[in-house]
Amino acid sequence: MHRLLLLVLAVVPLAPLAAQDPPPRPPVPSPHGLWEATLEVGAVKLRLALHVDVSTTGYVAKLDSLDQGAKGIAVDTFTCVDGKVAFAIAALGVRYEGAFDATKGEIAGQFRQGPVDVALVWKRVERLTEVRRPQEPKPPFPYTTEEVEYSHDPSAELDSSFVPEARRDDQARVTLAGTLSLPPGPGPHPAVVLVSGSGPQDRDEALLGHKPFAVLADHLVRRGIAVLRYDDRGVARSTGKFGGATTADFATDALAGARFLATRKDIDPARIGIAGHSEGGLVGPMAAARDGKLAFVVMLAGPGVNGREILVHQGALLQRAGGVPAEHVERERPLRRAILEAAVAAGVPLEDRRKNAAAALGAFFDAMSPPGVQREAFVAEQMQTLFAPWMQAFMALEPAEALAKVRCPVLAVWGSLDLQVDPAQSLAPVAAALATSRHADHALVVLPGLNHLFQRATTGAFAEYAQIEETMNPAVLDLVADWIARHTGLPAQRPAKD
C-alpha cells in the first residue's frame, strides 16, 4: 500500500536566475555542490542527498530523501558563516547545524526534527552512491515479450464493453498498456495477471529503485507461466484517469487483462489467474468474486481487514520502527482512529461526516502539535485526503465480503516483518473468510524475516526498502511459482539457473 506511507511534500520550485545576471563566484572554501549522508534513528537508516548552489542572494539548496523516494524538497534557508553551516525546512520541522571542513570535504553537525535529535555527517561527492539491484532481469531472455494494449468501458458491464484491441479514439474507454511475457512454444500456456499496490504504479511496480513485478514476471515465465503486467490507468502508456478511481475500478481493470488473455490462442482460457500485491491483494479476490472463470488468486501481502484498521495499526508499527517513543504512539492511536471512524461513519450524512472528521482532526492537532504546520492548513490537507474517492472506498471496504465469494484456489502470503499489512492482523480474518468461501483449496503462508516487499529485512521499516539490494526474496518467488505450476498442471521441477 504504497500511497499510505509516502508523505506528500510540497516542493517550492527554485526561481530561475536572470540570464543577464549570472550567479557570483562562490567564496572559497564554499559548501556548494552535492552532499550525501545517512540519517540513523534507532534501527532506521535513511540516505539523504543535499544539493547546494548559489544565487544572487546567497545559497539555495534542495534535499532528497532517497530511501523514501522524496526528491527536490526545498530548503527554506541555508547559510555558511565562518565555517558554520545551518539550514532549515519549516514544513517538515527540520533544522540542521554543523561545521564545514573543506579539507575533509564534510559537514559534521546535528540534525533535528521533532523528537529526533541525532548527529549527521555530510560527505561531498561527485555523484550519488550507486544502488545495486542484482535481481533485475537483463537480456537475453529465454522467452519472448510483447507490448500489448486492451480496452474496456468502465461505465458498462465488462462482458459487453471489453474489446481485446485498443481503441484510443474512443474517450469513453480505458486503454491499458502492458508487457506480456510468453514461455517458449506455441502453448496454450497458463497465465497470470499481476496487479500492483496502491498509488499510481507502472507495469514493473517500480518503487525506490526496485522493480518487483519485473523480477516476479521473469521468474514465473521461466517456469512456463505467461505473465501480463500493465501500467495502472492514467500511468505511463495507459489512458484513463487514476485520480477518482477506487479499488473496485482497479478490479475491473484486472479482469479486463484476464479477458484479454482469454482471447489469445497461445493462452489457455481455463488456466488464467490474478496475483496482486498489497492493495492488489484485495483486487484479486474482488475480481474472482465477480468472475467465476478465474483459475486461481494469489494474494501477496493482501489486507484481511478494512482500511481503517489497516491505517491505525500500520501507523503505530511504522512509528515504532522509526524510533518514535512508545508513549507518543499510544497517545496518538485513539486520536487517529477517531478521525477515520468519523470520516466513514455508516448512516451519517456526508456533511455531518465532514464536520465530525474536521473536529477530530483539530483535536488531533491540539493534542499532538505536529511540527512545522499550521492548524488550519493541517486540517484542510488531511480532509482532502480523507474524503478522496479512493480513501473513502478503501476505509469502508471489507475484504471478507469478496473472499467469501471466491470460487477458485487461493494462495495468501505475507512476510513476518511486514509493517504495512501485518500478518498478525490480516491472516486470521483472511482464513476465516476463505473458510466460508465456495472453494476449499486455500494456502496461507507467513515467510519469516521478509518485509512488505518480500525482501530479507532487519526491521521491516519502510526506510529499509531502498537500502536492501534484494528486490524479492527467492523463497517467495519459488513459493508462488510452485503453487501456480501445481494448480495449472505444469511440471513441478524448477529450471536450472542461467
The C-alpha atoms of residue 480 and residue 126 are separated, in whole angstroms, by 42
pLDDT single digits (tens) 303-318: 999 999 999 999 999 8
The pLDDT value given to residue 27: 52
Confidence of residue 497 (pLDDT cuts 50, 70, 90): low
pTM of the model as a whole: 0.82
pLDDT single digits (tens) 143-182: 999 999 999 988 888 888 888 877 656 667 899 999 999 9
pLDDT single digits (tens) 356-389: 999 999 999 999 887 667 889 889 999 999 999 9
Ramachandran category for residue 69: left, alpha or beta (phi over 0 → left; psi -120 to 50 → alpha):
left
Tell me: pLDDT of 209 over 90.
no
- A 10 A CB-CB count for 218 gives 20
Q: For a pLDDT cut of 70, what percent of the chain falls above it?
A: 91
Among the ranges given (10-14, 223-227, 254-258, 422-426), the one the predictor scored with the smallest mean pLDDT: 10-14
Q: For a pLDDT cut of 90, what percent of the chain falls above it?
A: 74
The pLDDT value given to residue 496: 59
Tell me: pLDDT of 25 over 90.
no
The pLDDT value given to residue 89: 93
Tell me: pLDDT of 115 over 80.
no
The pLDDT value given to residue 498: 55
Q: Once rounded to an integer, what is the mean pLDDT over residues 431-443?
A: 95
Tell me: pLDDT of 22 over 70.
no
Q: Which fold has domain 2-125?
A: Lipocalin (2.40.128)
Among the ranges given (123-132, 254-263, 473-482), the one the predictor scored with the smallest mean pLDDT: 123-132
Domain map (residue ranges) of the chain: 2-125, 144-305+398-488, 307-394
Q: Once rounded to an integer, what is the mean pLDDT over residues 319-336?
A: 90
Q: Would you say 50 and 41 are in contact if contact means Cβ atoms under 8 Å apart?
A: no
Q: Which fold has domain 144-305+398-488?
A: Rossmann fold (3.40.50)
Q: Once rounded to an integer, what is the mean pLDDT over residues 101-127?
A: 92
pLDDT single digits (tens) 215-254: 999 999 999 999 999 999 999 999 999 998 999 999 999 9
- Do 144-305+398-488 and 2-125 fall under one CATH topology? no
pLDDT single digits (tens) 62-71: 999 887 767 8
- CA nearest to 64, candidates 79, 46, 84: 46
The pLDDT value given to residue 28: 56
Q: Which residues of 16-28 are buried (b: 16+ CB within 10 A; e: fewer)?
A: eeeeeeeeeebee
